[in-house]
Structure 1
Amino acid sequence: MDDSLDITPSQAESNSQSTKKRVRGPTCLKKLRLKRVRDQKISVEFDQSTGNAKGPNRREFNNYVAFLARSKVSILHEDWDHVEESEKNMIWQTIMHNYDVPNSKFLKKKLISYAGQRWRGFKTQLSSFYIYGKYKDKSPCDKYTFLKKDTWQRFVESRLDPAFQEKRKKAQEVQANNLYPHTLSCGGYQKLEENMMQEKAKKVQEASQLDHSLVIVEPPSPLKRHEKWKRARQKKSGDYINEESRIIAEKIDSLVEQSTQGSFLPLGREDILTVAIGQPEHPGRVRGAGRGVGIRQYFGPPSRNPLSMEDLEVITQKIQEQVTKQLSEQLEHKLKADLSQQFQQQVRQELASLGLLQQNTNIEPAPHSPIHVSTKGNDATPDPLVEDNHTNIRDQCELYVDVDPPRLVAIGKVYNLGSTIHHKTIEDDNVRVVVEEVRDAEARVPLPTDEVHTVGQAPNQFIQWPRRLVKSMSAKAVVESSKDAPHKRLEPQLDPLERLLIIVSKIRKDHVQLPWDPDVLSKPSTMPFYIYRRDIFRLCMGSEMPNISIMQLWLMYLHNLCTDKGNAHIYGFMDPQSIQSVGNNATEVQGYLQSRLHESKKQCYLAPYLHSDHWQLLIICPKQNVVVLLCSLHKKTINREMKTTVDLAMDEYQRLVGSQSRSRRKKPTWILPRCQTQTEGYECGYYVMKQMLTVVTVDIVDSWKKIFNSSGPFPEEDIADIQQRWAAFLLQISNL
């Protein structure tokens, strides 16, 4: 038998007398030996993000790697870095020889690192027990047959050397400063998480047995790292291992309560555990996350220029002053243009009132579209806007429908933001309007669209309206006010984006608090939602990539839009913060996805996904077992870990709804249509926002490649429309 299979203890150890106290001996791995006799490799699963083994064979596999490390690598090496690469490669080849393991560089690096960890632990165990501990009068060579007597003698001499004694003393002093030691076994946080998840699943199962109406038992929610940190410092009795750990646990409970009430908001690396302990994470590992999880992997890269609150306040003040100055210059220019026309009109009215000019008060309607004059209050004939085809009316106007006589159905505003609306050209006889006040919700709009048929469906959306059926209210206001205040300064009306920018530049709060709609992203309504002032500036300026908060508010807008359109039963939304790789592990993301798929039962889920500073759109259709990926950079694949997570969540969803057995269930079909290409580095978020708006307004549920088949960029008007809608919605639901 070759050396790689020599994994059984000595015969002397196995034939020890029964009178001896039974203790845990070296790893035997009889199951592995039996499999090898049959020339079969044992299969083992791995977490693709950490490289840790998982599944039913996890424990045996980890023990085997530990055995190879201590039996194939001499304990005389000073540290793992001094071990020859040939020895490490031999460990890797032996692992692949006995286990069905993918031959990947990533997995090799992780497993060799784990072997080094267990090798160092073995050396520490030998020193603690056989040199300084209770077995110092015995030799470990009887227990570990691969350990030679001369090797052991040299190891003892190296450990008794004064230089090592000094090194050991310093290490003990460092360990003494660990105020929060854990009680975990060699299984670490991975084993602890498995046990805690089993406990949660058992509680859910017991609850389902009490409530027979629960036909399908939902999977337990993923664990947070502060929950695992607390449990790792508890005894079996439930008491904490020391007073320091108990104090931190109480702080964690308090912060959890504050976060549910909205008085505390965990942000990035400043999460509940970090704030409770009061110390940042140490580079190279993450507290409560387990082996193989680095700080950048768990939280993402740190901010390039971390700023204090004082620095942020100074920068915000400078931005506010700059924005105010720019707005003042823009408003002054607009005001002069508007007042030039208004002043001419006032002069004519003054001259007419003095009898020096015959004022023509009857404006004849266009000959090709006669409008009958009526004198019944609001049914008066609207004044057609025929003076200038490029008129941009920012004040309020009356919107009529073409009946006999014309009837006032809404109050709105006219905007000149371009020559197209939703890829349709605005005819010269029409204008772009936004309905702000509905007078007749059931009245049909003159120019209906796919999403707007009645006036009641029109608020907060750009639509076309015949110019002849729009009557400016400012002209009437000027006539009525000219007698009392002929020289009154008339302020121009601003669009939602301009109004929002002016309001935010004046407020002193650094954020705006909004309520969550629990139906949108499965977040509790008691949880506060913050839009920070810097984020509002970011969107209004339109020169930076939208962040997660901006995207979350957009999802709330789309949900409201779906509710108004009556297709909220078709479309659901995934929280971009809950599915991104930064701050979430694969298990947490999978748990969130399958929970949303199972609970809300929509036909399509729109999931904006942020990875490596780039937004992509995932459209998940669970009933069709289809996932659509839209990328404005035309990347043909998504992050491998995310794809695997989505596939697993879809598979679990199929199981929960009673689909076929796992062996017969198929993996989701991934579709990558050709979509619009961004021209600037920051536009990916706006492209995702536009794509989602297109899906819900046109009611797209299939034929993705036929609908998304253009590789050109979105018109600037479409991006401006996104900004205006976002700003109008924020003004609508906030107290600004």
Structure 2
Amino acid sequence: MQSYIGILAREKVRISYKSWKQVPSGVKDLIWESVNLSYNVDPRWKKGCLNSANSKWRQYKALLTHKFIFSKLAKPEELKEPPIGYGITRDDWSAFVISRMSDDFKKVSDEQKKRRKQNVYPHRLARKGYARFADEIGDELCDDEEINRAIIWKKGRMNKKGQFEGDDLKMAIEKIDDYVQQKREGKLHLEEANTDILSKALSSEEHSGRVRGVGGYVTPTFYFNVGSIVQKHLVDEQFILQQKELMEAKILISQQNARISNQDERIQKLEAMFRKGACDLDTDEKGSCSVKLHPMSDENIKIEKCVPNIETLDDDDMQILNNDDFFQVYI
């Protein structure tokens, strides 16, 4: 996906723009939409996706600058035509060459070169990334994340011959090896916040926007507190689940109470109709009762259902009447 983002940045964004801020928002949205057509990306990663496109676009312009401009300053006539195979128009190339030859750009370029020289621990991962590199050296990793981060950072700065270049880097590697050994033997205990083997060996804290040896988009706040963050997330999730279950239970109880209240009202209504029907039997056989009640005696009690006029009842009343428990309770 990162390679695809780089292709989109080179194809969709003209090199004549001096900075990413000058790139129209419509072009940026087109890059984001193109990524979503090919990959299932969380919408919250839009900013990260465009930041990645910005970085790759700048790298692309740096490549063009060093390969086709600075290397041909002795032959200015060759700067007139855009390089073949890059899909760059002549107008864009002319504007790009002029901007790169300006005094302002040379000043910025010199400042960045000085900053780059201050990086005494350059990595050698190329465009692989720490995540893929960690998979490659998985056999050398263990269950201790502090040790793993130090090992990944260390291995990422080894050249093809398996060597470390530079006195500062060699000194840092020796400290890392020493601290890793102490940690495995249980002799090293780091109690300071946001501090582990690597930060102790390099004698510097992590930058607020990244964690060395881990990769992009991982902040120190998350990395060094992942345990408490996950625990808090689980506690919050459990609390929300309990509140949801409690609310559902309250709704069920409320619905049940409403049904019981409605049932009681209908039973009272039917009881009143039965009483009225029983009284009407002595005066009028054509009253609301369909049959006469047999006289009761202590020796032989026989009870028959006294059914009110069913034309006056609805379906819920009939359901109650069809329940024998109602008559047993009533009698």
Are residue 580 (structure 1) and residue 265 (structure 2) matched? no
Shift of 1:134: 6.9
1:257 is aligned to: 181
1:616 aligns with 2:235: yes
1:180 alignment counterpart = 121
For normalisation by structure 1, the TM-score amounts to 0.30
Partners in 2 of 1:252 and 1:161 — Cα distance?
44
Counterpart position of 2:57: 119
Identity %, equivalent residues = 28
Equivalent runs, 1:664-679 vs 2, <5 Å:
none
Structure 1 segment 227-626 matched on structure 2, within 5 A = 227-267=151-191, 268-300=193-225, 580=227, 610-611=231-232, 616=235
1:220 deviates by 6.9
For the residue of structure 1 that corresponds to 2:94, the secondary structure is helix
Residue 110 (1) aligns with residue 43 (2): no
Q: Distance in 1 between matches of 2:208 and 2:66?
A: 28
- Which TM-score applies when normalising by structure 2? 0.64
Counterpart selection for 2:36 from 83, 96, 101: 96
Deviation at 1:129, TM superposition (A): 1.4
TM superposition shift of 1:86: 1.1
CA contact 2:82–2:90 (8 Å) conserved in 1:
no
Tell me how far apart the structure 1 counterparts of residues 151 and 82 of structure 2 sit (CA, whole Å): 39
Alpha-carbon deviations, 1:162-207, whole Å to 9, x = none? 111111101111111111111121222233223223xx2xx8xxxx
In structure 1, C-alpha distance between the alignment counterparts of 2:167 and 2:18, rounded to whole Å: 37
Over 3 Å counting, the alpha-carbon distance change for 1:296 and 1:132 in structure 2 is: farther
RMSD: 2.8
**1:71 aligned to 2:16?**
no
SS of the residue 2:189 aligns to: coil
Give the aligned partner of residue 23 of structure 2: 83
Identify the residue that residue 170 of structure 1 maps to in structure 2.
111
Give the SS at the match of 1:168.
helix
Q: Which residue of 1 aligns with 2:86?
A: 144
CA contact (8 A) 1:69 1:91 kept: yes
**What displacement does 1:673 show?**
6.9
Determine the C-alpha separation between the residues in 2 that align with 1:179 and 1:220. Answer: 27
AA at the equivalent of 2:9? A
Given that residues 259 and 266 in structure 1 are in contact (C-alpha distance below 8 angstroms), is that contact kept between their aligned partners in structure 2?
A: no
Q: How far is 1:65 from its partner?
A: 1.1
| Secondary structure, counterpart of 2:83 in structure 1 | helix
User: Is residue 635 of structure 1 aligned with residue 254 of structure 2?
Assistant: no
What do residues 129-155 of structure 1 show as CA deviations (whole Å, max 9, x unaligned)?
11223798575531212x111111111
Deviations 1:620-641 (A, max 9, x none): xxxxxxxxx7x3xx2239xxxx
Counting matched residue pairs gives 238
**C-alpha offsets along residues 686-735 of structure 1, whole Å, 9 cap, x if unaligned?**
xxxxxxxxxxxxxxxxxxxxxxxxxxxxxxxxxxxxxxxxxxxxxxxxxx
Task: Judge conservation of contact 2:176–2:197 (CA < 8 Å) in 1.
Answer: yes
Question: Which segment drifts farther, 177-186 or 72-81?
Answer: 72-81
**Deviation at residue 581 of structure 1 after TM alignment:** 6.4
Equivalent residue, structure 1, for 2:303:
none
Paired residue secondary structure (1:194): helix
Q: Counterpart in 2 of 1:153? A: 94
Contact preservation (8 Å) 1:285, 1:293: yes
Q: State the SS of the aligned residue for 1:254.
A: helix
Name the structure with the higher helix share. 2
Structure 2 counterparts to residues 202-221 of structure 1, below 5 A: 221=143
C-alpha distance in structure 2 between counterparts of 1:72 and 1:252, whole Å: 44
1:221 CA displacement: 4.7
Q: Residue type of the partner of 2:84? A: D
Q: Distance in 2 between matches of 1:636 and 1:179?
A: 51
Instruction: Summarize the Cα distance change of 1:297–1:88 in structure 2 as closer, same or farther, 3 Å threshold.
Output: farther
1:616 maps to amino acid: V
CA gap 1:636/1:84 in 2 versus in 1, 3 angstroms: farther
Quote the Cα distance in structure 1 between the aligned partners of 2:114 and 2:217: 26
Whether the 8 Å contact between 2:82 and 2:89 is mirrored in structure 1 is no
What are structure 2's unaligned runs of at least 5 residues? 247-331
Residue-by-residue CA offset, 1:547-582 (whole Å, 9 max, x unaligned): xxxxxxxxxxxxxxxxxxxxxxxxxxxxxxxx7266
> What one-letter code is carried by the residue in structure 2 that aligns with 1:189?
Y
Report matched runs for 1:3-18 at 5 Å.
none
Deviation at 1:109, TM superposition (A): 2.0
Give, as a single letter, the amino acid of the residue that structure 2 aligns with 1:636.
Answer: L
- What is the letter of the counterpart of residue 67 of structure 1? I
User: What residue ranges of structure 1 are gaps of 5+ in the alignment?
Assistant: 1-60, 204-218, 301-578, 583-608, 618-628, 638-671, 675-736
Aligned to 1:616, what secondary structure does the other structure show? helix
Aligned AA (1:278)? S
Instruction: Give the drift of 1:117.
Output: 1.4
User: How many Å apart are 1:275 and its aligned residue?
Assistant: 0.6
For the Cα contact (< 8 Å) 1:141–1:148, is it kept in 2?
no
For residues 246 and 273 of structure 1, the distance between their equivalents in structure 2, rounded to whole angstroms, comes to 14
| Code of the aligned partner of 1:259 | K
Q: Spell out, residue by residue over 1:456-483, the C-alpha distance to the aligned partner (whole angstroms, 9 max, x if none).
A: xxxxxxxxxxxxxxxxxxxxxxxxxxxx
Contact (CA 8 Å) 1:298, 1:581: kept in 2 or not? no
| 1:195 corresponds to | 136
For residues 94-142 of structure 1, give each alpha carbon's deviation from its aligned partner in whole angstroms, at most 9, with x where no partner exists: 2223x1424x431222212211111111111111211223798575531
